[in-house]
Structure formats: structure tokens, C-alpha cells
Structure 1
Amino acid sequence: MNKKKEILILGFALFSMFFGAGNLLFPPSVGVAVGKDWFQAGLGFFLTGIGLPLLGILAFTKVGSLDDFANKVSNKFNTIYSTILILVIGPLFAIPRTGSTTFEMGVLPLFPNSNPTVLAIATSVIFFGITLFLVLNESSITDILGKFLTPIILLILSLITILGITSDLGTPVDSVINSNPFSYGFVSGYQTMDALASVLFGVIIIRGLEGKGINNKNEQKMFLSNAGFIAAIGLGFIYLSLIYLGAQISSIKGLTTAQTTLTLAQMTLGNIGKVAFGICVAAACLTTSVGLVALASEWFSKLTKISYKKIALGICIFSTVLSVAGLDYLISLSIPVLVILYPITIVLILLNIFGIKSVLTFRIVVITTFIISIAETLKVNLDFIPLAKAGFPWILPACIAFGISFILKKIEVKKTV
């Protein structure tokens, strides 16, 4: 086996799994919001947009199965957590978002004088009709789109970056946000949902390695860490470029999330570039939608014993209705859910990576993180907790809970002795 070749292939596979419309939508918006502070925000975005997804995949060298990811808290918790995870990256947010993104970036620019509501409904019906057809009828169309679209979008992004850096798009202005730029970038990175998806992607990657005869845990780590570095370079290039370019047009007010990226495409490549970019993103959304509908349908079919086809139909109908609400509305709905789900996912990833076996530790740390995240979502004043003002009120309580669990475990051991 040519290990270097296999690592390179795995690196590209990891990149394409994480690469989607969300990776293009949110970095420019972060740049617009933070203006002159784009580099600080970029560091925060890197941690959640690149660091956490890679850690999530590495966590699966320890557990090897979604069924074992959070079962040390309890089997029931693992089922509930996994279900919520799939709902979030599935029919509640991520799947409808693919339809909204297709409309705002792929269809609306082609028909600017049409009735936007009617066009949005028509787009959503057609988009999820095609999604359902591809989910129910196995096809190589999505593979072809994925293989050809990623290089095309990367080429367009490279042109936008080069032309954007070498031309005068504008001057960054002062930040319009009230929070710390680093924490703003960190929390904005939640919207890519890549760390949540990595919990599911990890299963696929580990199975793929085992299928090639790579069963040794240390060897799996070596492959994943090196491949992760390759994927991180690609994602890092995209994020840093788009956050920087977004900052250059931060003086332009009133842009929606989708309009920000399209504005950059139009300013650098003209109207043809904007339309071409929109079409590519729309097609990329289709491949994402098909994959997520299939994943969610399989999970809920196993959970409820309802047929795969019926669940896929229900998800597509539900997503059709929800996507018409619009991209920015869906983003605003997802924020409180992600503020709760992400910290829990982060601590589960870390506990699994460090090989913690204690059920007590898992339970205390996860429950503590959950309580603090709920309080933050409900706007409870947590400023008395260190790091709360920076946007991370859950970190210190989780660390304290971790320490307490070890003390309690030692006391328990002494009692049994």
C-alpha cells in the first residue's frame, strides 16, 4: 500500500465531506460583521470550523461507532443526543437550508424581476422533488456532481481571492458587533455544523480504513491526522480568504448572508461570475441535501420502524415548507439550538479523545455543560463566571466538574477498599 497516496486521497475525501454551501456562506458574513478585527474573528472561526471537526473524526478512533459516542452518559442519552444531532443537521435546519441557499444564490440572481415568494416556493418544490428522486433511486449523479463541482468552486474561489486581494474592493470599517471578535468568530463557526457532522463522518472514515485492512488504532490516527492536515489546509484557505474579503466590503450595509458571498463574486468576476458561482453552489447544495436526507431517513427508519421511503418523503415535504422561510430566518432559528448542542458535542469529543472511561466523569461533565448552555440560551446573566463575557461560560464549570468527578471516584474507591 502506498501510504502517501492513501493519505492524500483520504485528505481530499475529508475535505469534500466537510465542504458545502455553509463553508462559503458564513465566513464572508463574519468578515463583514467584524471589519478591522477580521483576523481575530478568523482564529475563532478556525477553531470551530476546522479544529473541532478534525477532533470529532479523531474521536472515532476511540469509539468506532455512533452508538458508543455518548453511551457512557447512558444508552438513552446517546439515543436522544444522536437523534437531536441528526434532526439539526437534517430536517430541522441543514436540509431546508440547502433549499434556501439554492434559491438565494442559484435561482434568484437569474430571475431578479420575478416575484420572490412564488419563485422561492417553485424552487423549493423542484429542488426537494429532485432530492427525493435521487434518494429513492440510487444514482451516480450526485457522485459526478461532487467530483466535478468541488474543483470548479475551488477554482472560482481562487479567482475571487486573487482578484479581490489585488483589486480595491474597499476598506474594512469598525466592527458592528458588541461581543469579542474571537468569540464571535468561534460561535459563528457553529453555523457550518461541521463539528456536529464529524460525529457522523467519523463512522464512515473509520469503516473505510478498516475496509482497506487498516485496523490498528495508532495507524488509523496516523492516517486521520495527516489527512486532516490536508483537509485543514483547503478549508483554511477558503475561510481566511472569504473572511478577509468580507472585511474589505464591511462598509456595505444591509447585505443578507447569501448576498454577501454573491456580492464578492460579482465585484471580482462580474455578472457572469456571480451567476456561474450561484449555479455551482446550487448543485453542491443538491448533493448535500441528498446525503443528509438519506442519512436521516436511515436513522429514523431504524428508530421508528417506519419505512425508509415514507420517512424520506416526509423529510422532503417538511424541508420544502421550511426552506421557503428563507436562509437568514433558518439561521436565526438554529442559533439557540447550536449554542446548547455544540458545547455538549465539544466535551463529548474531548472525553472520547482522551480515552476517559469513567461513567461518572461523562455524566457530571455533560450535565454541567448542558445546564450552563441552557442558562446561556435563556439569557441568564452568567458574567460572574470567568470567560462568560468572552462567550464561553461553560468551559470553567466543565473543567471543575471534571475535577470533582475524579475526587468522587477516589472517595468511592477508598470506600470499597
Structure 2
Amino acid sequence: MNKEMKDIVVAGAALFAMFFGAGNLIFPPALGFLSGTSWFFCMLGFFITGVGLPILGVAALAKSGGSLDRFAGRVSPVFAKVMGTAIVLAIGPFLAIPRTGATVYEIGIKPLFSGVSPLTASVAFFVVTLFFALKPSSIVDKIGKYLTPVLLLIIGLIIVKGVASPIGHPVAKGLTQPLGRGFIEGYQTMDALASILFAGLVLSAIAAKGYKTAEEQISLTCKAGLIAGTGLMLVYGGLLFLGATGSGMFEEGISKSDLIVSITNTVLGSAGRTAMCLAVSAACLTTAIGLTAVVGSWFEKLSHGKLKYESVVIITAIFSTLISVSGVEKIVTFSVPLLIIAYPIVIVLIALTLWGSKLSSAVYKGAVAGCLIVSVFDALSFLKVDTGAAGKLIAKLPFADAGFSWVLPAIFCAVVMELIRTTMHHKPLNQSTMPKS
């Protein structure tokens, strides 16, 4: 294997491991359990948002030079900073990072060591996270070379054995709109949001290995993304199928954490608990390390060095430790409205960035505005807030049942803004301002 291919594989493995964290482990089996015989269509929807979007996000950010300012700045520089900060906080100390710590406790520690408190487990977990995250220059190599192989070995063992000898047969669960449900559930991985931040980390690591030209950096980052995406599809598909085979075995209402533990114990027997402890710890640790490093880098750059990377990383770890004690289910519930608002905007920005650089700023502004208006109403509806006539109108939009009510408004607003820009640009001069002959 030549140096370039080796660097691509290591970067791809690291990217896979950073993506594959708490949500990626617990949501596919839960979706399979919920869908039963409809698991295949749920899987396709989940692949779109859980695999396709993150990889496209990596490509879009690589095309933007790894800069979130360039990625979202076509809307406005202020929007780019506000959006970036919101995403960093969401996938950082407020939601995703604490979720990794909570998942390690509920799935990896509690079944084996019931006497360990959530706080003790969280403190230990984030101390290890800090050990890796305090040296950002070596994060990609450490994750790609050491943690990813452990993670893949354990998860692969569970999936291969579970697929070769299914624990049961999928049963009909009466789920409507399985494709749309899988699409929405893919939001919960938060990987499309994380991709626009992880891409910069991978791009920097590739540049540090001596690849100086933008073309080389973009090419290698995209190839690393494809490797990560392939791994995610294989793992997600396997875990979702395992959940479907258990759809007739476990009681309705079982929590996501208890479901994956029960499946693993059934598949691997007495060794299941230990294997799951190691798998969860590796999966969540890799994600926590990557996200913590991203938070530190973002706020150091945003403050122009006034906030030091090391200080931000330490504060993030402490804050995440405290939030993680609230548990996985509460963190997941709290995250849904935010994801309903943020995901469509990120999807639109990824699509427009990959579409081409010739699109005007007006198109970006219109598309984001259309997304934001509809997504806010969707989030309010999720929270059971009465949105009146406007909410009823949005619910009747095409594709609303599948979770895509924002698509046509985004296109409509983008076209309107572009027409306004074109009209203003070609507006004839007033007679009083025209030069005299």
C-alpha cells in the first residue's frame, strides 16, 4: 500500500469512528425493532440522512476548503458564524457529547457494574476523552490506527453472528411511511451536522501529511469520506436488521439502550455484556474526542485566539459530564426540535455548495429562508404547540407526510429571491439620471 492510499485509509477509518458514536449504535436497532417487516424501506431512508448526507457534507466542506465561513457565508458572514456556533454547541456540550457519556454508562457500564454511579462513569469517560483531545494534531491518527480497529472488530462480531443466526423473525408493526420515518430517524445521528465540522479536521490532518495543493486535499478528503460511508452502511444495515429480527421478541416500549443490550446478550450469550461494554466505549469515545476537538478549535478561531483551545476543551468536558448524567432518553427528546430546524438548512447548503459556485447569494438566502420558516413550524408542531392556520397549511404541503415539507418552500423562495435580484440588476435607469446626448 503506497503512502497516499495508506493516508486515505487512516483518515477514512478515523472519520468513520468519529461518525459512529452513541446515536449510531442505538438508533438503527431501535428503528429496526419499530419497523419490523418494513425494515428494508426504513433502512433506505436512514441511509439517506445517516450516510449519504454526512458524506456529501464532507465533500461540500472539502470543496469549501474546510471553512464553514465559506460554506455558509454565501447567505451572509453573520449567518455563517451564528449557524456554526449553534451547530457546534448542539453537537458539542449541549447534546451530542453528553449523549456519548450517557450511552457509555447505560449500555457499557451499568449492565456490568450496577454499583457505579452515572457521575462516576461520566467523569472517568471524559477524563479519557481529554487525554486524546488535548493534542489535536494527532487525533486523526490515534483514532484511525488504534480505536477504530477495536470498534470494528467488536461490532462486526455482533452483526455477523446476528445475521448468520437470527434471533427471530421480523413481524408486522403497522408502521406507516417507513421510508420517511427512516429519513427522520437519521437526523438523530447528527452526522450531517457533524460532517461540516469533521471535514475540516480531516482536511487539516491531510494537509499536515504534506499534501499542499487544494486539489490533492479535496480529493483525499472525499475518498476518505467514501471509505467512512461504506463502513457506516454495512454497520447500520446490520444493526437495523438485528433490531428487526427482535421485533417480535422484546416488549413494546423497551428503551433504545435496553434494546441493544438485550440483542447483544441474545446474540453473544454471556460474553455479550462484556463485548457491548467495549464496543460502546470505543464508539462513544471516538465521537466524543472528535467533537470535543472541534468545539475547542471553533471557539479558538471565533475568538481570534482569545479563548485558548485547551481551556475550551476542558470546559466542554466538564459541562458535558454534568449534562450526561440526565440520561440518553432525555437528551434525545430534547434534541429533536433543534434537529428538525437545523437539518433542512444544512441539507440545502450542502446541495447548493455541490451544485456549483455560480449560484448567486440570493439563491442561498432564499432557500435558507424557506427552509427556516417551515422547519420552525414543524418543530413547534412536534412540541404540540398550536400553530394555527399556518401550521395546517404547512402540513398539507407536498411531501409533508414524509418529513420533506420544507423542499418546495425552499425552492420557491430561492427562485423568488433570484428573480428579485435579476430584476433589480437589470432595472432601467431613471430618465432623470440618464446622461444627456
TM-score of the aligned structures, taking structure 2 as reference length: 0.86
| Deviations 1:126-160 (CA, angstroms, capped at 9, x unpaired) | 32344345545789799656533322332232322
Identity of aligned residues (%): 42
Instruction: Identify the match of residue 91 of structure 2 among 89, 92, 95.
Output: 89
Instruction: Identify the match of residue 204 of structure 1 among 197, 201, 206.
Output: 201
- The answer (yes or no) to whether the contact 2:199–2:221 under 8 Å persists in 1 is no
Residues 1:126 and 2:124 aligned together: yes
Q: Quick check: 73-82 or 270-279, which moved more?
A: 270-279
Structure 2: tracts of 5 or more residues without a match = 382-390, 430-437
Which one-letter code corresponds to 2:340 in the other structure? V
| Structure 1 residues 213 and 138, CA gap change in structure 2 (3 angstroms) | closer
Q: Which residue of 1 aligns with 2:104?
A: 102
Q: Which residue of 2 aligns with 1:336?
A: 337
Residues 1:267 and 2:266 aligned together: yes
Q: Which residue of 2 aligns with 1:366?
A: 368
Residues 1:190 and 2:187 aligned together: yes
Instruction: State the aligned residue count.
Output: 411
Q: Which residue of 2 aligns with 1:164?
A: 162
Q: Quick check: 349-358 or 5-14, which moved more?
A: 5-14
- The answer (yes or no) to whether the contact 2:21–2:286 under 8 Å persists in 1 is no
SS at match of 1:109: coil
RMSD (CA atoms): 2.6
Q: Which residue of 2 aligns with 1:316?
A: 317
Instruction: Identify the match of residue 149 of structure 2 among 126, 148, 151.
Output: 151
Matches of 2:3 and 2:128, distance apart in 1 = 39
Q: Which has the higher contact order (CA 8 A, sep 6+)?
A: 1
Matches of 1:107 and 1:4, distance apart in 2 = 37
| Structure 1 residues 15 and 181, CA gap change in structure 2 (3 angstroms) | same
| Deviations 1:316-371 (CA, angstroms, capped at 9, x unpaired) | 23212211110111011111101100100011111111124411111111011011
Matches of 1:282 and 1:86, distance apart in 2 = 22
| Structure 1 residues 416 and 297, CA gap change in structure 2 (3 angstroms) | farther
TM-score of the aligned structures, taking structure 1 as reference length: 0.89
- The answer (yes or no) to whether the contact 2:108–2:278 under 8 Å persists in 1 is yes
- The answer (yes or no) to whether the contact 1:33–1:176 under 8 Å persists in 2 is no
Q: Which residue of 1 aligns with 2:79?
A: 77
Which one-letter code corresponds to 1:79 in the other structure? K
Task: Kindly report which structure 2 residues correspond to 1:213-292, keeping only aligned pairs within 5 A, or say none.
Answer: 213=211, 215-217=213-215, 222-251=219-248, 252-253=250-251, 254-292=253-291
Matches of 1:221 and 1:250, distance apart in 2 = 43
Q: Quick check: 141-150 or 348-357, which moved more?
A: 141-150
Residues 1:47 and 2:48 aligned together: yes
Q: Which residue of 2 aligns with 1:35?
A: 36
SS at match of 1:192: coil
How far the C-alpha of 1:125 sits from its partner, in A, is 2.6
- The answer (yes or no) to whether the contact 2:42–2:181 under 8 Å persists in 1 is yes
| Structure 1 residues 274 and 143, CA gap change in structure 2 (3 angstroms) | farther
- The answer (yes or no) to whether the contact 1:53–1:194 under 8 Å persists in 2 is yes
Which one-letter code corresponds to 2:262 in the other structure? T
Matches of 1:339 and 1:47, distance apart in 2 = 16
Matches of 1:54 and 1:141, distance apart in 2 = 20
Matches of 1:316 and 1:3, distance apart in 2 = 34
| Deviations 1:54-91 (CA, angstroms, capped at 9, x unpaired) | 11111124321122111121111111000001001100
Residues 1:24 and 2:25 aligned together: yes
Matches of 1:70 and 1:42, distance apart in 2 = 30
Matches of 2:83 and 2:324, distance apart in 1 = 24
- The answer (yes or no) to whether the contact 1:347–1:365 under 8 Å persists in 2 is yes
SS at match of 2:400: coil
| Deviations 1:20-77 (CA, angstroms, capped at 9, x unpaired) | 2332221111101111110011001001111111111111243211221111211111
- The answer (yes or no) to whether the contact 1:31–1:243 under 8 Å persists in 2 is yes
Q: Which residue of 1 aligns with 2:385?
A: none
How far the C-alpha of 1:414 sits from its partner, in A, is 2.2
Q: Which residue of 2 aligns with 1:401?
A: 413
- The answer (yes or no) to whether the contact 1:31–1:38 under 8 Å persists in 2 is yes
Q: Quick check: 266-275 or 145-154, which moved more?
A: 145-154
Matches of 1:171 and 1:323, distance apart in 2 = 35
Matches of 1:285 and 1:338, distance apart in 2 = 20
How far the C-alpha of 1:216 sits from its partner, in A, is 5.0
| Structure 1 residues 160 and 294, CA gap change in structure 2 (3 angstroms) | closer
SS at match of 1:389: helix
How far the C-alpha of 1:226 sits from its partner, in A, is 4.2
Matches of 1:97 and 1:316, distance apart in 2 = 12
| Structure 1 residues 148 and 370, CA gap change in structure 2 (3 angstroms) | same
Which one-letter code corresponds to 1:408 in the other structure? I
SS at match of 2:168: coil
Which one-letter code corresponds to 2:424 in the other structure? E
How far the C-alpha of 1:209 sits from its partner, in A, is 4.5
| Structure 1 residues 339 and 231, CA gap change in structure 2 (3 angstroms) | same
Structure 1: tracts of 5 or more residues without a match = none
| Deviations 1:101-126 (CA, angstroms, capped at 9, x unpaired) | 110121101124x3xxx611221233
Q: Which residue of 2 aligns with 1:299?
A: 298
| Structure 1 residues 265 and 148, CA gap change in structure 2 (3 angstroms) | farther
Which one-letter code corresponds to 2:230 in the other structure? I
- The answer (yes or no) to whether the contact 1:60–1:206 under 8 Å persists in 2 is no
Matches of 1:319 and 1:147, distance apart in 2 = 26
- The answer (yes or no) to whether the contact 2:296–2:313 under 8 Å persists in 1 is yes
